[in-house]
């Protein structure tokens, strides 16, 4: 039978040892919640110094076995924290890291986010392989992906430590940027049939080598990959391939390839349907297409999409990944996109269905309208 998504639960084989706290930087309103949470976690760390392993045996854990709290160096060095002398003792017990310098992806057991959806996207980007469970508190502007209220953080964090929390496995996209897949000469305009004729309807794709181009960037993306026309005044003109076969050309401002999680972000603004994150799918949404019949489409998870500049494109294109690492795509380059094997386990406040519909209602005001009044008298409904 088909598995009920509600059966997805978080259970711990052992208590979480390393907890990562990520907060939105440059937001002074989050300084106090950040300090509160760190104080609480440090206190929990002290409690974990002694663990009851049976009804009669109480052992002291060695220092390296106790729970450690990790934060970003720039968060710990915030001027407001440095001025607070009462926080100094807590700050000295925090482990710090720097993005791009320190790799903590293999040692974190739980991530706690303070901020908005962008904070969770940033936390996801820190883990390009397996991702620990993520608990996100709504302290930002939107909060579609952050179901927890900070007012009850002690109770909620304690519940997560105890285990058996509902989780949503948010799929990510595995993205590769490959340079010089085709020589420019192969892509000169010889009619729209040329790429299909020369490659039997396919473009070469395979391992990273000089024959098939060079992989210059590989990322795990939680929301979307956006290909657009950048600063050019001309229409973007890119070809879309599915499993190596040319599907269509996109002429307009660009195209969005999104996960179900990303379907409620930029894709929704571009007219796409909203997909529950447990649905295994990839959404392809054109941005302002110069066509009256180009609707967003949903393709199965696991297929490989490939985007290249069309041979007759008047300009290059630009690509960004969850709004980051924006770069130019030249003739002969391609972007390969498929479903990642490393989803983001997002901890639910209630359950994965209720949380999603509550976010639709609270954040996007889904199906909000003034209700039609009931008829005052049954005779009002007659045709006379």
Q: How far is CA 220 from CA 47, 135, 279, in A?
A: 36, 19, 18
The answer to whether 230 touches 240, Cβ cutoff 8 Å, is no
Tokens in use for 152? 């009850």
Instruction: Indicate if the alpha-carbon torsion angle 87, 91, 94, 98 is positive or negative.
Output: positive
Q: Is 143 exposed, middle or buried (0-12, 13-18, 19+ CB in 10 A)?
A: buried
The H or E element that residue 215 is part of is: strand 214-221
Told to judge if 383 belongs to the known catalytic residues of this protein, a careful annotator would answer: no
Is residue 269 classed as helix, strand or coil in its secondary structure?
helix
Close Cβ partners of 285 (under 8 Å, ≥ 6 residues apart): 255, 256, 257, 258, 267, 270, 271, 272, 296
N- to C-terminal Cα distance for the chain? 54
Q: Dihedral of CA 221/226/227/229: which sign?
A: negative
Which one of 78, 117, 239, 333 is the catalytic residue? 117
- Cα dihedral value 104, 107, 110, 113, nearest 10: -10
- The CA distance from 163 to 11, in Å, is 5
Please check whether residue 88 is in contact with residue 113, taking contact to mean a CB–CB distance below 8 angstroms: no
Catalytic positions are 117
């Amino acid at each position: 039978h088909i598995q009920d998504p509600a059966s997805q639960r978080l259970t711990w084989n052992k208590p979480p040892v390393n907890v990562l706290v990520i907060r939105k930087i440059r937001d002074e309103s989050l300084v106090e919640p950040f300090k509160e949470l760190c104080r609480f976690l440090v206190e929990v760390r002290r409690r974990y110094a002694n663990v009851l392993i049976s009804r009669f045996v109480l052992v002291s854990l060695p220092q390296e076995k106790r729970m450690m709290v990790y934060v970003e160096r720039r968060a710990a060095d915030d001027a407001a924290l440095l001025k607070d002398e009462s926080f100094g003792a807590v700050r000295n017990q925090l482990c710090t890291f720097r993005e791009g310098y320190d790799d903590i992806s293999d040692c974190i057991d739980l991530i706690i986010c303070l901020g908005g959806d962008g904070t969770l996207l940033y936390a996801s980007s820190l883990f390009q392989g397996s991702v620990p469970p993520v608990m996100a508190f709504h302290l930002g502007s939107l909060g579609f992906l952050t179901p927890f209220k900070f007012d009850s953080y002690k109770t909620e964090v304690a519940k997560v430590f105890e285990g058996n929390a509902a989780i949503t496995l948010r799929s990510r996209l595995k993205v590769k940027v490959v340079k010089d897949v085709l020589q420019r000469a192969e892509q000169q305009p010889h009619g729209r049939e040329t790429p299909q004729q020369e490659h039997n309807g396919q473009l070469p794709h395979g391992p990273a080598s000089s024959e098939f181009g060079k992989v210059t960037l590989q990322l795990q993306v939680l929301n979307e990959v956006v290909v657009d026309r950048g600063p050019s005044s001309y229409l973007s003109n890119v070809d879309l391939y599915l499993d190596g076969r040319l599907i269509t050309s996109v002429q307009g401002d660009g195209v969005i390839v999104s996960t179900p999680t990303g379907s409620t972000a930029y894709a929704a603004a571009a007219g796409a349907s909203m997909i529950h994150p447990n649905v295994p799918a990839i959404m392809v949404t054109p941005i302002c297409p110069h066509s009256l019949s180009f609707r967003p489409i949903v393709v199965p998870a696991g297929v490989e999409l490939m985007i290249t500049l069309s041979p007759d494109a008047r300009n290059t294109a630009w690509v960004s990944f969850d709004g980051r690492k924006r770069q130019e795509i030249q003739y002969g380059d391609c972007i390969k996109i498929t479903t990642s094997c490393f989803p983001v386990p997002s901890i639910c406040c209630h359950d994965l269905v209720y949380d999603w519909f509550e976010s639709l209602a609270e954040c996007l005001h889904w199906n909000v309208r003034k209700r039609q009044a009931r008829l005052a008298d049954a005779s009002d409904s007659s045709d006379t």
